[in-house]
Structure 1
Amino acid sequence: LYCEAPSSVKRKASVQVVRHLFDCLVKWLAPMLPFTMEEAWLDRHPDAVSVHLDQFPQIPTDWKNEALAEKWRKVRQVRRV
């Protein structure tokens, strides 16, 4: 992220991913951490009303990686033991 030039396509793509992750995580965690996520949301989006008035984000179905999901299912299963 910080090794590329500000005009670099790689850097711009990385920044876009970080922004999307931030928005998704803050919205998902808002019901459990309402005050903390509200503060984070308003710090990032000062003109917004409230994170609690937004809908949960729709994640594209083509982002699903079944092989990776299976790996994490196995990890969670082993951890239960």
Structure 2
Amino acid sequence: MAPGALAKPQRRGLLARRLRIHIGGALIGGETLGVATLYKFGVAEPRKKAYADFYRNCDSMNDFEEMKKAGIFQSAK
């Protein structure tokens, strides 16, 4: 080969090599989306519902009055 000549391009097995790379990436990407979906519907949505239920039924003034009667606050009488 001459000093300035380019190397020949790969012709055999090019499709198989590219498919191995892309199939591996697709499997990893698919697993990631599955885990994200499971987290969203298994953890995040129930947590948001629990917070919404808590704040829908929350009476902060009643809680404050109970804590004041219990003597938790030193400045409130």
TM-score range, shorter chain: 0.3 to 0.5
Please identify the structure whose Cα radius of gyration is greater: 2
The TM-score normalised by the length of structure 2 is 0.33
Q: Which has the higher contact order (CA 8 A, sep 6+)?
A: 1
TM-score (norm 1): 0.32
Higher helix fraction (1 or 2) = 2
